[in-house]
Amino acid sequence: MGIVTSVPRQTKSAVTLSVIVPYYNEQEVLPELHSRLTAVLEQLPETSEIIYVDDGSTDHSLQLVNRFTSSQSSIQSVALSRNFGKESAMSAGLEQSSGLAVILIDADLQDPPELIPDMLAKWREGYDVVNMQRAERLGETWFKRQSAAAFYRLLNSMVKSDIPENVGDFRLLAREVVDHINRLPERNRYMKGIFAWPGFRQATIQFQRDARFCGETKWNYFKLIGLAVDGITSFSIRPLRIATVLGGLIAFAAFVYGVIIVSKTLMFGDPVTGYPSMMVVQLALGGIQLLSIGVLGEYIGRIFIETKQRPLYLIQSINEKQPQQKLQAVETRA
């Protein structure tokens, strides 16, 4: 009856592509990153926005970013109120983003911005998640590579959703996936797991991960171990089950051993011997008990943090800039 029923769904998307750059004290690389990134985005037919998320940098990174301009893309400079960690900074970027496709990229140029067109091509083919898999880890020590490989094996043996190996946070997510991720209530943001959790149609592109352009990695081994424990305990309860099974096995073995000792004593009589074996059993049991309590503690700690329902991050300021071309167009019209 002349009433249009199939109005295209109104999305708040003003742009097609959002590029999110979380950064923490990266003043040496940011200018180089910005020029390479904008050079790539200028070549794209899609409209784009760059969202820089300052994770409480203590150097001049934020002032630098606030001066960045681009002829094609709008720029959002979001500043968190302190260093909340990369996972939170990425969450902030995801929530600020409005693009139909969203790309997360490190500030240190380890993830080459020049791959963005390839990622978009996959997205246009219909994939919802484009994982960028490192073919080679340049500039990383043998030990780091080995420990990373071991970690992925352990993680994937414990977690149900498939967490792709050697895929960092560099990836493309379709709007739908971003919306789902933004709705996840948990405080503990283990992003590798969170990105894999929604599923959807996934594509993987292999790439050479460059060495850091300059500056130093913000990760040390303590932080990495923490991240590994986070990864496992926030996506799997298998460690608890392992503790249970281990307890059961040991109890059973103890029972059998007890029967043996009692019958041996009854048959042969037994003067007090076996101090070494007793010590070994005591220590082994004590160790396993402490470990299991530690595992329990990890989960209780997680429950504690989740129940507090604190926000993931606090935003101190947002500075938005339209593409310069558009601004000029408005001025001439006025």
In 3D space, the residue among 313, 317, 314 whose CA is nearest the CA of residue 62 turns out to be 317
Closest distance to Mg ion from the beta carbon of 211 (Å): 9
Identify residues 26-45 at the interface with ligand UDP (CB under 6 A): 26
Using only C-alpha atoms, what is the Rg of the chain? 26
Closest distance to ligand UDP from the beta carbon of 200 (Å): 25
Build a one-symbol-per-residue string for 99-138: x at contacts with ligand UDP by CB under 6 A, - elsewhere.
-------xxx-x----------------------------
Binding residues with Mg ion: total (CB under 5 A)? 2
Q: Which is nearer to ligand UDP, 16 or 25 (CB)?
A: 25
Should residue 46 be labelled a site residue for Mg ion when binding is judged by CB under 5 A?
A: no
Closest distance to Mg ion from the beta carbon of 109 (Å): 8
Figure out which of the listed residues 110, 131, 233, 234 binds Mg ion, where binding follows CB under 5 A: 110
Closest distance to Mg ion from the beta carbon of 255 (Å): 52
Closest distance to ligand UDP from the beta carbon of 220 (Å): 10
Binding residues with ligand UDP: total (CB under 6 A)? 16
Identify residues 272-331 at the interface with ligand UDP (CB under 6 A): none
Identify residues 55-94 at the interface with Mg ion (CB under 5 A): none
Q: Which is nearer to Mg ion, 77 or 110 (CB)?
A: 110
41-49, 146-154, 213-221, 291-299 -> range binding ligand UDP (CB under 6 A): 213-221
SS3 string of the chain?
A: CCCCCCCCCCCCCCCCEEEEEEECCCCCCHHHHHHHHHHHHHCCCCCEEEEEEECCCCCCHHHHHHHCCCCCCEEEEEEECCCCCHHHHHHHHHHHCCCCEEEECCCCCCCCHHHHHHHHHHHHHCCCEEEEEEEEECCCCHHHHHHHHHHHHHHHHHCCCCCCCCEEEEEEEEHHHHHHHHHCCCCCCCHHHHHHCCCCCEEEEEEEECCCCCCCCCCCHHHHHHHHHHHHHHHCCHHHHHHHHHHHHHHHHHHHHHHHHHHHHHHHCCCCCCHHHHHHHHHHHHHHHHHHHHHHHHHHHHHHHHHHCCCCCCEEEEEEECCHHHHHHHHHHC
Build a one-symbol-per-residue string for 216-255: x at contacts with ligand UDP by CB under 6 A, - elsewhere.
-xxx------------------------------------
Chain position carrying tokens 């049991």: 285
Should residue 108 be labelled a site residue for Mg ion when binding is judged by CB under 5 A?
A: yes
Build a one-symbol-per-residue string for 85-104: x at contacts with ligand UDP by CB under 6 A, - elsewhere.
xx--x---------------
Interface residues toward ligand UDP, by CB under 6 A: 22-24, 26, 55, 83, 85-86, 89, 106-108, 110, 217-219
Interface residues toward Mg ion, by CB under 5 A: 108, 110
